[in-house]
Amino acid sequence: MNTESRTRILLIEDNPDHALIVSRALEQRAPGRYAVVHVERLQEGLERLGQQGFDVVLLDLSLPDSEGLAGIPPLRASAPEVPVIVITASNSEALGEEAVRAGAQDYLVKGEADGRVLARAIRHAIARQQLQEILRGLALRDELTGLYNRRGFVTLAEQHLKLARRNGRGALLVFADVDGFKRVNDRFGHAEGDRALVAVAQVLRSAFRETDIVARVGGDEFAVLAVEAPDASAELLRARLAERVRAHSERAQLAYEVSVTAGIAALDLRRAAGVDELMAEADRALYALKRAAGQDQAGRP
């Protein structure tokens, strides 16, 4: 069987005999369908999750370095996209419900889970997790522009900032709004205002890299987090944005000019500034530009 089509399972179980029973049951159920990696400690499992891609985790609740439901949160935090199925010696329904509330997709009782039950639980856990990821993705997106919304931006940006600090990389946060947006709405109507917002979203997508996080965080407000931006310069980024806005204004058949003002904040690796703090700093920079009599507004002559 093609290794890419195999279900990759991380089995965290300190009892080698129980681990062998699980592996054999799955192999007998569907030969070659499952690739099982067995570790005996939670910490080993967390390390493997960081090194390899898995489709599902089977977690024993009694480990040398983790007891009870304590192992679920770190696994979910380490790989939130990978479902966890708890395997327990207890047939307590209350314990199973607690495990699900703690973040597990399902729970199985040792000795009662044969190959058929294991395979079905794994299949359903993966399917439910994929559905949750789709729904979560929809909840993080702005319906009008297709960009991330504020929740999506903050969630992803916090993760990217942690990685940037860990790896000593620079980052820039751009906070921008559409100039004269209220006038566009008042004069041309909200449908035309929506069209202007979509146009700005398209400009931002084209002006920044696919690895950058681009979002609509308010009515006419947009934010971008650019980690390890080439020649990490606020002026270069603002100039690039201005050029793209001008080019779009020339191409688009609009009855008005689309322009934005952008404030930019740089990540200081010496400070533990979070996304909210960087956004506030970039927002202050934006309004400083606004106060400067319309100077430095992207897309303006």
Distance CA 87, CA 160 (A): 33
Q: What is the tens place of the pLDDT at every residue in 229-256?
A: 654 567 777 877 877 877 887 777 777 7
Is residue 18 classed exposed, middle or buried when 0-12, 13-18 and 19+ CB atoms within 10 A define those classes? middle
Indicate if 134 and 162 belong to the same structural domain: no
pLDDT of 301 > 60? The answer is: no
Q: What is the pTM of this model?
A: 0.56
Distance CA 227, CA 103 (A): 30
What's the structural domain count of the chain? 2
Residue 78 belongs to a domain? yes
Cβ neighbours of residue 118 closer than 8 Å, sequence gap 6 or more: 22, 25, 26, 29, 108
Query: What average pLDDT does the segment 34-54 reach?
Result: 94
Cβ neighbours of residue 264 closer than 8 Å, sequence gap 6 or more: 172, 173, 174, 175, 234, 237, 238, 282, 285
Indicate if 162 and 124 belong to the same structural domain: no
Alpha helices in the chain (DSSP H): 16-29, 42-51, 72-78, 93-101, 115-139, 150-166, 181-188, 190-207, 234-251, 275-291
CA angle 162, 133, 19 (to 5 degrees): 85
Indicate if 102 and 183 belong to the same structural domain: no
Please identify every residue annotated as catalytic.
220
Residue 66 belongs to a domain? yes
Q: Name the residue range of residue 251's domain.
A: 150-291
Q: Which of 139, 171, 189 is the last residue of a domain?
A: 139
Q: Which of 106, 139, 172 is the last residue of a domain?
A: 139
What CATH number does the domain containing 58 carry?
3.40.50.2300
Task: Please report the sign of the dihedral spanned by the C-alpha atoms of residue 152, residue 154, residue 158, residue 160.
Answer: positive
Specify the pLDDT at position 230: 54
Q: What is the tens place of the pLDDT at every residue in 109-161?
A: 988 889 999 999 999 999 988 877 876 777 889 999 999 999 999 988 888 88
Indicate if 287 and 169 belong to the same structural domain: yes
